[in-house]
Amino acid sequence: MTQAVKAATKTIPIVMIAVGDPVGSGLVASLARPGGNVTGTSNLSPPLMVKRLELLKEAHPAVRRVAVLLNPANPAQKLSYEAMETAAKSLKVEIQKFEVRNLGEIQSAFAAMAKQRIDSVAVAQDTILLANAGVIAALAAKQRIASSGNIEYAEAGGLIGYDSITDIYRYSATYVDKILKGAKPADLPVEQPSKFGVVVNMKTAKALGIKIPNSILVRADKVIE
């Protein structure tokens, strides 16, 4: 969405909200000095996805083949997947992307996972996937595979949730205020989340027969029993 708006104008100020990788996506020149008519907040999508993969492996060491559920229409997803490919090598896991744009494609992706013996799934940072968090968690549970996503995903029934707990949406409003008072987007640094949280759904872990290690439980901000 932000890229489409930027393509339409190079003069009207644009405040982006929770964009995955604004530098890698070409929206800004740098986080410190955006340099154009776009500024706002980033949700650090690539590092978030790498951490979700790491937590998935730590929670269930038997994980070997990980499906990455992503929306190809979201430019940050390609960058996130590339970051995960690098991490997967050190974790000794194989990752495979499943591109989805709607509920029907999500259901088809899980049907394909079953045929390919996928043993776990990592859910990308995307509004479509967030809107279908409950469905995705239910499908993962039905196929008895471990899963990780954002905090809302774990609360909806996923195994592990990891996400920013910084209110970047509320912070985004401050950019609008500054711009209305005369500030230029080019001079307003992009804000990144500074606090992150881990949620563990023990109910799901027990249903899957997974024993969550203490190394995760002691770091968890919330444990769902």
The whole-angstrom separation of Cα 143 and Cα 94 is 19
Looking at residue 30, what is its pLDDT?
A: 86
Looking at residue 1, what is its pLDDT?
A: 64
Q: Which strand (E) or helix (H) includes residue 204? A: helix 202-208
Q: How many CB atoms lie within 10 A of CB 173?
A: 12
The encoded tokens of residue 52 equal 């979700």
Looking at residue 146, what is its pLDDT?
A: 97
Can you give the length of the chain in residues? 225
Domains of the chain: 2-43+166-195 (3.40.50.2300), 45-163+197-224 (3.40.50.2300)
Q: What are phi and psi of 129, to 5 degrees?
A: -70, -35
The whole-angstrom separation of Cα 26 and Cα 207 is 43
Q: What is the DSSP string of 33-100?
A: ---SSEEEEE--HHHHHHHHHHHHHHH-TT--EEEEEE-TTSHHHHHHHHHHHHHHHHHT-EEEEEE-
CA-based torsion, 66, 94, 23, 197: positive or negative: positive
pTM: 0.82
- pLDDT tens digits for the chain (225 residues)? 677 777 778 888 888 887 767 787 788 888 888 888 999 887 778 889 999 999 999 999 999 999 999 999 888 888 899 999 999 999 999 999 999 999 999 999 999 999 998 999 999 988 899 999 999 999 999 999 999 999 999 999 999 999 987 666 777 888 898 999 999 999 998 887 778 999 999 999 999 999 999 999 999 999 999
| Residue of 224, 189, 184, 187 lying closest to 207 (CA atoms) | 224
